[in-house]
Structure 1
Amino acid sequence: MDETRTSVMNTLHGTTSRRRFLRQAGAAVAAPAVLAATPRQARTAPARSAQETVELEYWWPISATGADYDNMVALIDTFQEQNPNIRVNAQTVSFEQLENRVTVAAQGGNLPDVVWSLPETIPTYQRMGILADLTEQWDAWDEKDGLYEQTVTAITFGDQILGGMPHYLGIRAYQYHADQFAEAGVETPPETWDDLVAAGLQLKELGIPGFGFCGQSVRQPQEVIVFFWQNDLDIAVPAGEGTFRNTWTDNPEELTRATEVFQFYYDLMHTHGIVPREAASWGYTELDTNLAQGTIASAVDGAWMVGYEDENPESMADIAFAAIPYKRTPATFLEVAYQVTFADSPHPAEAWEFLKFIGGREAQSTPAYVNRSVRSDVAAEGKWTEPFMALVPQGRTWPQIALGQISQHMIDAFQGVLLEQSTPEEAATMLSEQVNAALADQGQA
């Protein structure tokens, strides 16, 4: 499970109270539709229509016990009311199972009409040849220009739009305890890597670890890719004809910059002692908990941290936000989730109606999406929304590669440095070679 799954599922399955989130975020600037929010069964209510209905098979990762279940089902009910000839048959499939279920269904010729998807699974579906070509429908859709440009990247292949509609946007920011910073004499949040080190050393004098990160778990690659982007690198770049390559070992200057990222992590933990050594084994739960409890002064984290306020009201009271400190170029990580339809859908027209409804301004302005909207013409106010949305212009997403092996290689490479089993340059070289081997294995080299 990758971190998009983690944060989406934290939002949907109880880490964050949606109603509480929306009280803090405030009303949407774009007026939302008024939806009922009453408990329902996992299968949505039938469309009320005298005419014959079309049933869309829809796989989503939402269970009836999820915190956002009512909002999402209410949204589907609204769609059905507006399209009385379409019934949405929603089946819960966990994120861990979705890609495998889609692969098996494709082999058996019985794909559903629509599924939730993540950007790293879309290249796999594209290579399988199962994504619907939505280029004509996309060109004719009058609401497409309201989408953030970065959210369309994963479904754009040349001049084609294949498969999907972005519907969820998660953004990372630098979160810090303002009271701890003030006590240490740090007047402003750090803007650069050097500033982060300087602030951390001041906090260290008070016995407070200045920063924390994930050494393990699905979030670790999403954290470190930002620092590569900030040093004008990527984990893989297009190499022509749909292939990709990691070019660090092809270019000595790039290898130097990649080494700098590993050295930065090593220095934060070992040279400067700003990051606790136990962070080498932290996953996202440990990082979030330590930030919420104030045992570390800062971290790169997401808006889901609002869910920790109930249990940590005092220690979370001083949380403030800034852009992630950078080396050369400001950057942050954008999580984007998609609704995807397939070339063999028995109901292509109805599937497209559902997709464009979900990605449209009306649906994106409802409680289901208002604080995570993929649209620039939808906004919500509040402490846990505005600082994140302000960072969209510097946001980036993964290149169009399958990440399964590569994510683990990234974790292992940084583990080697943090545990002092390899030098930063050795780790950068090894990771470059492993990425290219993985790309070759999955037919993307």
Structure 2
Amino acid sequence: MRRVWGIIILLGFLIAVSACSQEEDATADGESTITYAYWDKNQEDMLKGIVQEFNQEYPNIHVKLELTPYDQYFTKLDAAATGGGLPDVFWMNGPNFVKYASNDMLEPINEYIEEDNLDLSPYPEGLLGLYQYEKTTYALPKDYDTVGLWYNKELFDKAGVSYPDETWKWEDLVDASQKLTNPDKDIYGVAAYIQDAQASYFNTILANNGYVISEDKKESGFDDPNTIEGLQKYHDLIHKHEVSPTHAQMETTEAASMFESGKVAMLFQASYMIPQFKANEYTNENVDVALLPEMKKRANVIHGLGNVIAKNSANKAAAWEFVKFLSSEKAATMQAESGIIPAYEGTQDAWLKSTPNFNLQAFLDMAEVAEPYPVSKDTDKWSSIIQDNLAKAWSGQMTVEEASEVIDKEMEKVLEEE
């Protein structure tokens, strides 16, 4: 009798295993719903189009899009992670990746890549490496961004100033800004904002031979004279040359909004703003983009997003098929046509042709002099330290040197604890 019961139990176990296996296999081929979280409303229509194309191949996998503005995005994700309710697939960036990977919130995808024999050669190695933690891959690259100097052709023409080009040095930017600034009409030559570090002061630090964080992620760069000088030159646009709106003004009205309304003639801004400037009738007709001016060298920050799968996703097979499609040549081409630089090599031509009235080649050229976005395990902690203290310097409460000294000390404390 015991033998009979043993056989029955064994058969029951095998049936259960088989059922679970079928259920997992059916996730990608059967009816299932997955959630996809992102933060850029400018890309919403393009993402809807990608989902429609995905459903041509996988009609039984339903994708629910979840838009959350960037300033709320990671707060919402952190709360969802704590409660075990992360979206199945979601956008990830460099500053937050290590935190999520090291806390076992993301699904490793090495085995998926190997099983599908997925060719990774079309993706830039730097972007693949950005989403690797302890030699494990967690994301496929979606896109990348570099930074250029956007300028208003109408304002330049009215002031009789030549457009920016590859010969421009920092002094040329200052000189042109002085000629373009018209206090009587509340028009400024440039906007020296700091709200978006990637698009603003990170670039003057790098171009002045400074650095934000050391390559080994152990030291702050804010005690380096080149870093401090790079910040000072950017700060001087407001407080010395008076060719930029004040920090208070740009806290009330975003620098990009001022640029879109013709109140600012030049703006450091990343390629991710192309869809917004393209959609705005005024900027679509009146602005263009050039290389950033050279300081001690020409340099800028490069960063790219990755699509990741939640470790606790109940639909991992379906999620993987979607992630794989999101990083495919087809999806990359659709991104390119919408104005986003795709990570998939060979599809940038479509991106260049997507907006012929903008000199998008400038962003590809800036990629050749780009340096990785500065990150560590607790990027958010020291990023807040930088932002809080630079805001005090930009509003005149302390000098750039004083702010840099505080940042350096506080940032190194954070790095020591990592």
Interval containing the TM-score (normalised by the shorter chain): 0.7 to 0.9
Cα distance change of structure 1 residues 371 and 144 upon mapping to structure 2, 3 Å threshold:
farther
How far 1:174 sits from its partner (Å)? 0.2
Deviation per residue, 1:37-67 (Å, 9 max, x gap): xxxxxxxxxxxx9x9616353231479xx66
Query: 2 CA distance for matches of 1:187 and 1:423?
Result: 33
Query: 1 CA distance for matches of 2:46 and 2:346?
Result: 21
**1:229/1:331 contact within 8 Å kept:** yes
Out of 185, 189, 201, the residue aligned to residue 210 of structure 1 is 189
How far 1:246 sits from its partner (Å)? 0.9
How far 1:370 sits from its partner (Å)? 4.7
- Aligned twin of 2:383: 407
Query: 1 CA distance for matches of 2:288 and 2:80?
Result: 46
SS in structure 2 at match of 1:187: coil
Give the total of aligned pairs. 378
Cα distance change of structure 1 residues 189 and 93 upon mapping to structure 2, 3 Å threshold:
closer
Query: 2 CA distance for matches of 1:299 and 1:346?
Result: 44
Aligned pairs for 1:20-419 (under 5 A) are: 53=30, 55=32, 57-61=34-38, 68-83=43-58, 87-90=61-64, 92=66, 94=68, 95-96=70-71, 98-109=73-84, 111-138=86-113, 141-157=117-133, 159-161=135-137, 163-189=138-164, 191-204=168-181, 209-215=188-194, 217=195, 219-220=196-197, 222-239=199-216, 244-249=218-223, 254=224, 256-276=225-245, 278-283=246-251, 285-302=253-270, 304=273, 307=276, 313=282, 317-366=285-334, 370-372=338-340, 373-379=342-348, 380=351, 381=353, 382-384=356-358, 385-401=360-376, 402-419=378-395
Cα distance change of structure 1 residues 71 and 143 upon mapping to structure 2, 3 Å threshold:
same
How far 1:305 sits from its partner (Å)? 5.7
**1:200/1:210 contact within 8 Å kept:** yes
Query: 2 CA distance for matches of 1:62 and 1:419?
Result: 29
Deviation per residue, 1:315-354 (Å, 9 max, x gap): 7644221111232232233452221114444444443322
Letter in 1 for 2:299: A
**2:189/2:243 contact within 8 Å kept:** yes
Cα distance change of structure 1 residues 108 and 146 upon mapping to structure 2, 3 Å threshold:
same
Deviates more, 1:197-206 or 1:419-428: 197-206
How far 1:363 sits from its partner (Å)? 1.3
Query: 1 CA distance for matches of 2:55 and 2:284?
Result: 41
- Aligned twin of 1:40: none
Query: 2 CA distance for matches of 1:137 and 1:149?
Result: 19
Query: 2 CA distance for matches of 1:394 and 1:285?
Result: 31
Deviation per residue, 1:177-224 (Å, 9 max, x gap): 234435545435162222212222333489753211224x4x246411
**1:292/1:305 contact within 8 Å kept:** no
Query: 2 CA distance for matches of 1:437 and 1:428?
Result: 14
How far 1:280 sits from its partner (Å)? 4.4
Cα distance change of structure 1 residues 222 and 176 upon mapping to structure 2, 3 Å threshold:
closer
Letter in 2 for 1:338: G
Q: Unpaired runs of 5+ in structure 2?
A: 1-25
What is the aligned-residue identity percentage?
Answer: 19
Cα distance change of structure 1 residues 150 and 183 upon mapping to structure 2, 3 Å threshold:
farther
Cα distance change of structure 1 residues 52 and 247 upon mapping to structure 2, 3 Å threshold:
closer
How far 1:378 sits from its partner (Å)? 0.8
Query: 2 CA distance for matches of 1:311 and 1:98?
Result: 25
Query: 2 CA distance for matches of 1:369 and 1:160?
Result: 32
Q: Unpaired runs of 5+ in structure 1?
A: 1-48
- Aligned twin of 1:29: none
Query: 2 CA distance for matches of 1:374 and 1:147?
Result: 6
SS in structure 2 at match of 1:435: helix
Q: Quick check: which has more Rg, 1 or 2?
A: 2
SS in structure 1 at match of 2:368: helix
Letter in 1 for 2:329: R
Over aligned residue pairs, what C-alpha RMSD do you find? 3.5
**1:341/1:351 contact within 8 Å kept:** yes
Letter in 2 for 1:409: I
- Aligned twin of 1:20: none
Query: 2 CA distance for matches of 1:337 and 1:262?
Result: 26
Cα distance change of structure 1 residues 116 and 320 upon mapping to structure 2, 3 Å threshold:
closer
Query: 2 CA distance for matches of 1:224 and 1:366?
Result: 31
Query: 1 CA distance for matches of 2:30 and 2:329?
Result: 25
Cα distance change of structure 1 residues 339 and 259 upon mapping to structure 2, 3 Å threshold:
same
Deviation per residue, 1:75-104 (Å, 9 max, x gap): 2233233235x5134252525554345444
Query: 1 CA distance for matches of 2:285 and 2:315?
Result: 50
Query: 2 CA distance for matches of 1:194 and 1:56?
Result: 55
How far 1:126 sits from its partner (Å)? 1.6
**2:88/2:309 contact within 8 Å kept:** yes
Cα distance change of structure 1 residues 125 and 310 upon mapping to structure 2, 3 Å threshold:
closer
How far 1:297 sits from its partner (Å)? 1.8
How far 1:427 sits from its partner (Å)? 1.7
Tell me which protein shows more helix as a share of its residues: 2
How far 1:236 sits from its partner (Å)? 1.8
- Aligned twin of 2:400: 424
Letter in 2 for 1:209: Y
Query: 1 CA distance for matches of 2:284 and 2:50?
Result: 32
Q: TM-score, normalised by structure 2?
A: 0.77
Q: TM-score, normalised by structure 1?
A: 0.72
SS in structure 2 at match of 1:195: helix
**1:332/1:394 contact within 8 Å kept:** yes
**1:114/1:341 contact within 8 Å kept:** yes
